[in-house]
Amino acid sequence: MIEGQDSLTKAGRLKYGMIGGGKGAFIGDVHRRAIAMDGGAELVAGCLSQSFDVTRETGESWGLPKDRLYRTYRDLIVEEAARPNRPDFILVTVPNDAHYPAARLALERGFSVVCEKPLAASSVEAADLVRLTEEKGLLFGVAYAYRLYPIVFHLRDLIASGELGEIRFVAAEYPQDWLAGPLETTGQKQALWRTDPRRAGISNCVGDIGSHIENLVSFLTGLEMESLCARLDAFGPGRTLDDNASILVNFKGGARGLYWCSQIAVGNDNGLRVRIFGTKGSVDWAQEECNYARIGFTDKPAVRISRGRDKMSPRAQSLSRIPSGHPEGYFEAFADFYSIFLGALRKKKAGEPLTGDDLDFPNARDGLRGVRFIEKCVESSKAGASWIRW
């Protein structure tokens, strides 16, 4: 159980304003429920939809005061910044095209931010958010929540300890099948904007799920890219953005990688999986069986470890919530993200120094690297799947 997660009184909770996440939204609802899981922050204001009727209907059903429901994200940020009881952070869960302008305005008005990924439409914009965050001494979290599973922290610590030896090869994949058919022609909201370059940006599949692969591998291994070679495919009729991608990676130091992400892989739900092979051992973890991992060795039998039953690193153990055999999943990973982010924000407000563990959440620099990865994949694919220097 995470220490102190049930000890916050209402008066001690942080406050947040939310952009997006109204009635019918998926990821915004995940964020809101994950924050509520530990009671670390209270939603106090919202611009929850492009439709003010939806914002008003949703906000009132959640008990938000009418005068703190806004027509635009600009209205929310500007007006909430002037309140004596202003929010402690702004949560941005809208489609990709609004990430940068909303996050930038929030930073300008002195708010810490949590933003969905990809962080921005370009690395220039993402670098601007990094600069503003650091200049103003604020906190910025990016929702790469798959790396927040406890067992992923354990594998990171195991790899950092040298247990696998020198990393040689990384194989990572993320297959889905939700865009195997022309879903966007049915009016389905997620499919409509994700296949629209005006809303999604320069990439759909790599931007949406391939960036999760990049972040997870970077977090687990600490490896830095040297070059990549990508082929992005658009199999759906009439699509201009990718729905499938194959990516070769060279890392500094000599390790190699192979990434595959797809939204047209029939028969797959949400198959994020990473396998890392070193000179002395290997690890194998899949998000759909997130409480378990396989660890192989050159000189002894492979083992299957279980979160909650087997001993993990102290950091990983501190994030484990329930005993073995009781699955911890997606919501809990998001809740762990907020447990760390809100803990850091609380200490910062109190003027206390922040430790490495306090800041062990995906931040704006992770978001910048993710946008750069997307750009490099698109650049390589447009050049005929040529090798591109990082």
Kindly report, residue by residue over 222-252, the tens digit of the pLDDT: 999 999 999 999 999 999 999 999 999 999 9
Integer angstrom CA distances of residue 224 from 143, 166, 215, 389, 390: 21, 14, 11, 12, 9
8 A C-beta contact, residue 23 and residue 324: no
Instruction: Report how far residue 219's alpha carbon sits from residue 214's, in angstroms, rounded to the nearest whole number.
Output: 9
Q: Which residues have C-beta within 8 Å of that of residue 351, sequence separation ≥ 6?
A: none
108 closest CA partner among 100, 98, 116, 117: 100
294 closest CA partner among 279, 307, 286, 283: 283
Whether residue 178 has pLDDT greater than 50: yes
pLDDT of residue 348: 97
Among 11-15, 179-183, 359-363, the least confident range: 11-15
High-pLDDT (> 70) share of the chain, %? 97
Kindly report, residue by residue over 184-223, the tens digit of the pLDDT: 999 999 999 999 999 999 999 999 999 999 999 999 999 9
> Which tokens belong to 339?
């447990």
Whether residue 6 has pLDDT greater than 60: no
Q: What is the largest CA-CA distance in the chain?
A: 65
HSE of 190, CA atoms in CB hemisphere, 13 A: 12
H-type alpha helices, the chain: 27-38, 52-61, 73-81, 99-108, 123-136, 150-160, 189-194, 197-200, 205, 211-221, 314-319, 330-349, 364-382
> Which tokens belong to 30?
């995940």
> Which tokens belong to 233?
């495919």
Name the β-bridge partners of 292: 306
Integer angstrom CA distances of residue 305 from 270, 310, 318, 333: 22, 6, 17, 18
377 closest CA partner among 201, 124, 175: 201
Length of the chain: 390
> Which tokens belong to 241?
């953005």
Name the β-bridge partners of 356: none
Whether residue 7 has pLDDT greater than 70: no
pLDDT confidence band for 11 (50 / 70 / 90): low
pLDDT of residue 9: 59
The SS3 call for residue 71 is: coil
8 A C-beta contact, residue 184 and residue 240: no
High-pLDDT (> 90) share of the chain, %? 96
The SS3 call for residue 355 is: coil
Is residue 84 exposed (0-12), middle (13-18) or buried (19+ Cβ within 10 Å)?
exposed
> Which tokens belong to 185?
């022609």
Other Cβ atoms less than 10 A from the Cβ of 381: the count is: 22
Whether residue 1 has pLDDT greater than 90: no
At CB < 8 A and 24+ separation, what contacts does 288-297 make?
Answer: 290/149, 290/151, 290/327, 290/328, 290/329, 290/333, 291/151, 291/324, 291/327, 291/328, 292/151, 293/151, 293/154, 293/155, 295/158
8 A C-beta contact, residue 267 and residue 250: no
Write down the residue that tokens 């429901």 correspond to: 69
Cα angle value 91/97/99 (rounded, 5°): 25
Mind listing the domains of the chain with CATH numbers?
A: 10-146+338-362 (3.40.50.720), 148-323+369-389 (3.30.360.10)
Whether residue 165 has pLDDT greater than 80: yes
Other Cβ atoms less than 10 A from the Cβ of 344: the count is: 22
Integer angstrom CA distances of residue 265 from 20, 270, 271, 290, 348: 29, 10, 10, 21, 44
pLDDT confidence band for 10 (50 / 70 / 90): low
Predicted TM-score of the model (pTM): 0.95
Instruction: Report how far residue 131's alpha carbon sits from residue 172's, in angstroms, rounded to the nearest whole number.
Output: 31
End-to-end CA, the chain: 40
